[in-house]
Amino acid sequence: MPLHRRLRRHAGSLLVDNFFRGLSRLGRMHPHARPERHDVEVIRDVAYDESGLPEHRLDIYRPRGLTRGELDRVPVVLYVHGGGFRILSKDTHWVMGLAFARRGYLVFNVSYRLAPRHPFPAAVEDVAAALEWVLANAERYGGDLGRLAFAGESAGANLVTSLALITSYRRPEPWAARVFDRGVAPKAVVAACGIYHVSDVQRFKRRWPHMSGFIHDRLTEVRESYLGDPARHDPEHLELADPLVVLERGVAPARPLPAFFAPCGTADPLIDDTQRLSTALDAMGVECEARYYPGELHAFHALVFTPSARRCWAHTYAFLDRHLGVVR
């Protein structure tokens, strides 16, 4: 790759990374960001793997006053952050944990190893390990695993969709088989503005030939960082990077797939993947509530103070409440 293109990509990557980290830090300074104001307690940096790596930790957002009594248990959300598989963490996505917990959900907000240092399948293997930990420990924090949901945005939406496949299809990867053998599946998945076909990001340029160089660079960077050369992967192995391809084949799962809620802005360059996800799930007879928010960009719902974000969160809560049997 020419030097000027490498420099342009590096500069763009730093810009995006620093923007989201800065936004997260600023948000934490706001008085309403304090969990105690929402009757939420946070247990930080719980190891879900024995590696000792900081990436193998999660934060627990817990509504105050939960007991260990079976009748008092609340629904569980496993949240997986976005960032193109290569930036951000549970710490930048604290607002997601807080948003679900203040609604009454027990939230496990997960970090995972990032590309390019840790390419595919590190991220999906890590979130599978985090799910195993949650399945073993959620009840002692007051969670009801009979009302389990996965949620994530962007790359996180890819990962929770792949995680749903792991709970519904028996797969050859040992770490995926362990999850399947636990026999616990989510009732619902919130997959916001996801990228679900990582091995072919050039399709966006084919669809939108006038796409800006900045956006095209970010999408190309996702594929190159996470997968490298897709040809080096066994096609079956690559399915957990391209969960949309699996769903579009329409093969019947061993266990029913959960219902999906898929919000996306109409100005999001990834909107085609949400539309394809909705079409594939509909063809399989799986509920997919896809909602599109006029004029909104990628991950707009993270700006929780905007009117469109508030609508999106209201729709998200209504979907989860319905599928997890929450009565308010």
Helix-strand-coil split of the chain, %, nearest 5: 50, 15, 35
114-138 mean pLDDT: 97
Does 277 map to a domain? yes
What single letter denotes the amino acid at residue 283?
A
State the DSSP code for 114.
Answer: -
Does 328 map to a domain? no
Task: Say what the pLDDT of residue 4 is.
Answer: 46
Spatial CB neighbours of 208, under 8 Å, sequence gap ≥ 6 = 269
What are the structure tokens assigned to 110, written together? 């997960």
76-100 in b/e form (b: 16+ CB < 10 A) is: bbbbbbbbbbbbbbbbbbbbbbbbb
CATH of the domain at 208: 3.40.50.1820
Torsion of CA 164, 166, 168, 174, to 10 degrees: -160
Greater model confidence, 31 or 120: 120
249-258 mean pLDDT: 97
Whether the Cβ atoms of residue 114 and residue 149 lie closer than 8 Å to each other? no
282-287 mean pLDDT: 98
Whether the Cβ atoms of residue 130 and residue 112 lie closer than 8 Å to each other? yes
Whether the Cβ atoms of residue 154 and residue 271 lie closer than 8 Å to each other? no
pLDDT over 80 at 265, yes or no: yes
pLDDT over 70 at 7, yes or no: no
Give per-residue pLDDT as tens, 83-103: 999 999 999 999 999 999 999
* In 132-272, beta strands by DSSP E: 143-153, 188-192, 259-265
The reported pTM is 0.92
Does 244 map to a domain? yes
Q: How many domains does the chain have?
A: 1
CA dihedral (130, 133, 139, 140) positive or negative: negative
Does 90 map to a domain? yes
Give per-residue pLDDT as tens, 135-170: 999 999 999 999 999 999 999 999 999 999 999 999
Does 284 map to a domain? yes
Does 17 map to a domain? yes
CA dihedral (138, 140, 146, 147) positive or negative: negative
Whether the Cβ atoms of residue 300 and residue 293 lie closer than 8 Å to each other? yes
Give per-residue pLDDT as tens, 23-75: 666 666 566 778 999 999 999 999 999 999 999 999 999 999 776 555 579 99
Give per-residue pLDDT as tens, 188-216: 999 999 999 999 988 887 877 778 887 88
Task: For residue 224, give its domain range.
Answer: 3-323
pLDDT above 90 covers a percentage of the chain that reads 76
- CA 153, CA 203: separation in Å to the nearest integer? 20
The mean pLDDT of the chain is 90
